Amino acid sequence: MERSTKNHFVLVHGICHGGWSWCKLVTLLKLAGHQVTALDLGACGVHPKRIEEIASMSDYVKPLMDFMASLPDEERFALVGHSYGCLCISLAMQSFPQKISAAVFASASLAHFKEPPVVFIQEVVNENYFKRIPMEAVMDG
C-alpha cells in the first residue's frame, strides 16, 4: 500500500488576528492537495464571542481544544502557530500529544521552559498589555 504524502495542517493565528491571516498559506497548501484548517480563537475573526466574554486563556483557546477533541484519535496533523498562537499550540500539544505529527512555531511568543505557560500569561496580564492600546486597535475588521 502506498503511503499518502498529503497532510492536515491546523493553523493558529497570533494575537489580534484571525484565521483570515493565513489566507495565502491556506490557498498554497490546498493547491498542493493538503487538508487545511485555519481556526479563529475566542473573540477573534468570525468567532461569535465578544472580547469582553473571554475571561481566561481557556476561553481564548477553547476553539482549538474543541477542534482537536473532535478529530478521530487515529488522525494526526501538523499544528502551525504564529506569535501568541504558539502558546496556544503548546497547550494543545500537552493535551493531545498523540494527535500531532509535527508542530511549527513561527515568530513564537512562549513561556520560559522552566515555568508553565500560565506564568507567561500572567506576565502579559500584569503588564496590562491590552490596556495600553485602544480596543479598536486589536479588533478584526
Q: In the predicted model, is pLDDT for residue 132 greater than 80?
A: no
Q: What was the pLDDT predicted at 56?
A: 81
Contact indicator for 77, 10 with CB cutoff of 8 Å: yes
Instruction: Determine what percent of the chain is predicted with pLDDT higher than 70.
Output: 74
| pLDDT per residue as tens digits for the range 39-51 | 999 888 888 788 7
Q: What is the mean pLDDT of the chain?
A: 84
- Average pLDDT (85-114) is 88
| pLDDT per residue as tens digits for the range 49-86 | 887 888 888 888 999 999 999 999 999 999 999 988 99
Could you tell me the residue ranges of all domains in the chain? 8-138
Contact indicator for 90, 117 with CB cutoff of 8 Å: yes
**What global pTM score does this model have?**
0.77
Q: Choose which CATH entry (3.40.1190.20, 3.40.50.1980, 3.40.50.1820, 1.20.120.1460) describes domain 8-138.
A: 3.40.50.1820
Give 25 or 55, the one with higher predicted confidence. 25
Q: What was the pLDDT predicted at 16?
A: 80
Contact indicator for 109, 82 with CB cutoff of 8 Å: no
Q: Say how far apart CA 103 and CA 90 lie, in whole Å.
A: 9
Q: In the predicted model, is pLDDT for residue 26 greater than 70?
A: yes
The gap from C-alpha 75 to its chain's centroid, in whole angstroms, comes to 18
Q: What are phi and psi of 8, to 5 degrees?
A: -110, 120
